[in-house]
Structure 1
Amino acid sequence: MNFNVYSLAIVMAALSTSVSASLWSINELHIQQGNLIQPFTQDAGTKEETLIFTFQHASGWEYGQHFLFVDYASAGNEDTLYAEWYPTLSASTFLATPLSNDWIKDISLVMGFNMAPESDVLKYLPGIQLQFDVEGFHFLNLTLTAYIDDSEGLAEGGAPKHGDSWMVDVAWRYALPLQSQQFYIEGHMEYIDERASEIAGVRVESWLLAQVQVRWDVGKALFDVNDRVYVGVEYQYWNNKLGTQQDENTLQALGVWRF
């Protein structure tokens, strides 16, 4: 395997083909700016002003859903590309047996892919996803997966190859109307367990990452156009960022265009 930016393009093309038959879809462009830790610089804990452009996509089709995001980040003299893709297969739709549980809307099989082309990193995340039905939440999902490394490793000029592990993730979107203004609190929190590294004597620490956005629907407030343009902040807490022993606790400015 030679995973690079062309592999990412193939994944995007496959997704676009499947989305052409989607029942619904939501696309977003994000711009974020903040002072973020660069954990692999020579001086541990170095922070750089970081600008991140994100394309995010969610869609539903007859038997499941897709969620995808692609980050382009610019910090100092370094630009990076990173993507995650999570297609799911709905058990209730596929089996034609609706769930009767008052709390759970659906249970799905998920097959995740995490990709970083410049460092030849590729992870597979097979598992299950529970979609909860809770008042006020547009969605509330719990995902439990394996975390399987299929990266190139140091021998091929990539980042160090890691052992396999597991992940649990909670993602949500909650509507918060305040008088005539509309706010949303959305984001996710993930835990990935520790794992081995191909570097002798090095172990990748388990990490906890929380990314929480507070969005104000500025399009509704100023132009009477709902759910299109938002401004706000994203709070990021990352214990053991990227498996190091460095912790991040920061706010980023946020702008979002939904289409």
Structure 2
Amino acid sequence: MKRLLGNFCAGAVVIAGLASATPVQANFSETEIQLHYGEDYKLGRNANFPDFDNTTSRQTITLEHFSTNDIGDLFFFVDFFQDNDKLEDDSGTESDQYGEIYYHLHGSQFGLNFGDSSPVSGLDLGVGLNQGTDFSVALAGPRLNFGIEGFRVLSLGVYAYNNFVDPFSRNLDTTYQATLVWDYPFAMGKQKFLMRGFVDFIGDQGSGVEEQIVFSPQFRWDLGNAIKLNEDKLYLGVEYTHFNNKFGVEGVDENSYSLFVSFKF
């Protein structure tokens, strides 16, 4: 846990710098901390070659930020996680981190506008970076935003996906990533809830790296509203993740879940 907190503090410094670098005239800005405890993660500290059927429980601290202005929007998150289960020789990594960052330019800057009657509210052009300890992926492509009643966010991005740093120094093919993102608040009586999440579809990259699907929805209860504090600030939730062919390893399908508390500021 000390190592996990050390990684978190180091990452917090980086994220604070990134957040402060976002435009001061942003129309909207939000940063969130999530504390997760979950089960059934594969390819973790206790990964057993070649079956990879071991699972581990895991603690995760997630820092997440989103901001937008007239020019574009910035989104990033960093996960700092620690696995609890280990192999007998304890050769696996106890804690690690993973992050993603995306910046999209609003298509309106280039005259790409849609009428009020269109379900498409915008077309943006984005670039991204997915970064782990021993791999890096660069992404670039368009994103469609949909103005559907009830959704705060509903978007579909299609990106070129280039794995330019690989832990095994393989010459991997450039492929695609299609990402659907949603954020849907609703109420039942006086209680408020939020459904949010994403689905990633990633193509195969050759060299035994198969196509992947990551489906990760969250269900959140607005605890802040329930205890008569500020709404949309403090949540209790559950997250489920289905990871088909995890990390491109054929047949390694993860079905993990976690309970979490989150705080927005």
TM-score range, shorter chain: 0.7 to 0.9
- The alpha carbon displacement at 1:42 in A equals 2.4
SS of the residue aligned with 2:227?
helix
Cα gap change, 1:247/1:154 in structure 2, threshold over 3 Å: closer, same or farther? Answer: closer
- The alpha carbon displacement at 1:48 in A equals 1.0
- The AA in structure 2 aligned to 1:35 is E
- The AA in structure 1 aligned to 2:114 is L
Q: TM-score, normalised by structure 2?
A: 0.84
2:159 is matched with which residue? 145
- The alpha carbon displacement at 1:12 in A equals 7.1
| Distance (Å, rounded) in 2 between the aligned partners of 1:19 and 1:36 | 40
Q: TM-score, normalised by structure 1?
A: 0.86
- The alpha carbon displacement at 1:152 in A equals 5.4
1:237 is matched with which residue? 242
- The alpha carbon displacement at 1:167 in A equals 0.6
- The alpha carbon displacement at 1:46 in A equals 1.1
Q: Deviations over 1:148-186 (max 9, x none)?
A: 12215446xxxx563211010100001121111001100
| Distance (Å, rounded) in 2 between the aligned partners of 1:128 and 1:252 | 31
Conserved 8 A contact 2:202-2:212:
yes
Please provide the CA RMSD for this pair.
2.3
1:252 aligns with 2:262: no
1:3 is matched with which residue? none
| Distance (Å, rounded) in 2 between the aligned partners of 1:11 and 1:145 | 24
**Stretches of structure 1 lacking an aligned partner (at least 5 in a row):** 1-5, 198-202
- The equivalences for 1:81-160 within 5 A come to 81-92=97-108, 94-96=109-111, 98-100=113-115, 101-116=117-132, 118-119=133-134, 121-151=135-165, 153-154=167-168
SS of the residue aligned with 1:85?
strand
| Distance (Å, rounded) in 1 between the aligned partners of 2:111 and 2:71 | 10
1:186 is matched with which residue? 196
SS of the residue aligned with 2:20?
helix
| Distance (Å, rounded) in 2 between the aligned partners of 1:12 and 1:154 | 32
Say which structure is richer in strand. 1
Cα gap change, 1:204/1:154 in structure 2, threshold over 3 Å: closer, same or farther? Answer: closer
